[in-house]
Amino acid sequence: MLLKESREEIVKYGNKMLESNLTTGSGGNLSIYNREANLVAISPSGLPYYETRPEDIVIVNLQGEIIEGKLQPSSELNMHLIFYKNRPDVNAVMHTHSVFATTISCLNEEIPAVHYLVAFGGNKIPCADYATYGTQELAENAWQSMGSKYQVGLLANHGLLAVANDMSAAFNSAEEIEFAAELYYRTRAIGEPVILNESEMDLMQEKFKTYGQVQKNQKVE
Ligand SMILES: [Zn+2]
């Protein structure tokens, strides 16, 4: 069985997405790119996370051809591949339909720096233009919106996309930006949120670059 560890990680983080209310049922999808093998392990299409076993994970190459697996890969495969093809710093992609991020995406608005934790995604969270789910157009819109600058983006009228060096970091970013999206929703409901300035957000992004290395021993406060 190819990429056994990546398959197990996808099962584990799929369940973590459910437990953390980042998605429901089979919504969203996640993948890991093994650069040595030049292969991607991705969640299968339409299978609930709690039923997914390591052998259900689909292994594809960067052209999207199935190398190993009986099931169809996630319908958003192209949106994952476009980041692996274009960003050497990205080895994991997580896509969720978490409620508050998706709420903001339905306004077709960005999430500004309402809290310093927005820096997990960039100095703001951009929103990609709408396109039908599972299309190459959606993959291109996401890439055009996030490019090499952002770790997290919204997809208009759809959800959230997080890219990172590894799956643990992608999950963290998805979770922190869902939190920021909720804060943005709540603050706008009762007033006008104060937005942090660019230089503070640049500093926060510098600090978070080492977050992956420190997270095992300490939490960001
Ligand atoms: Zn989706």
Active site residue 76: yes
Counting beta carbons within 10 angstroms of the beta carbon of residue 36, is it exposed (0 to 12), middle (13 to 18) or buried (19 or more)?
A: exposed
Domain count, the chain: 1
Phi, psi of 21 (to 5 degrees): 60, 30
**pTM of the shown model:** 0.94
Which CATH number belongs to the domain containing residue 117 in this structure?
A: 3.40.225.10
Distance 62 CA to ligand 1 centre (A): 20
Distance 127 CA to ligand 1 centre (A): 14
Cα 171 to Cα 177: distance, rounded to the nearest angstrom: 10
Is 221 a member of any domain?
no
Is 220 a member of any domain?
no
Question: H-helix or E-strand containing 40?
Answer: strand 39-42
Residue 44's domain spans which residues?
Answer: 4-212
pLDDT in tens, the chain (221 residues): 999 999 999 999 999 999 999 998 788 999 999 999 999 999 999 999 999 999 999 999 999 999 999 999 999 999 999 999 999 999 999 999 999 999 999 999 999 999 999 999 999 999 999 999 999 999 999 999 999 999 999 999 999 999 999 999 999 999 999 999 999 999 999 999 999 999 999 999 999 887 655 444 445 55
The reported pLDDT for the residue numbered 216 is 46
Count the alpha carbons within 13 Å of 90 in the hemisphere toward its beta carbon: 26
Distance 95 CA to ligand 1 centre (A): 7
Is 218 a member of any domain?
no
Is 217 a member of any domain?
no
Is 171 a member of any domain?
yes
Is 167 a member of any domain?
yes
Distance 119 CA to ligand 1 centre (A): 23
User: Which listed residue (5, 9, 51, 76) is catalytic?
Assistant: 76
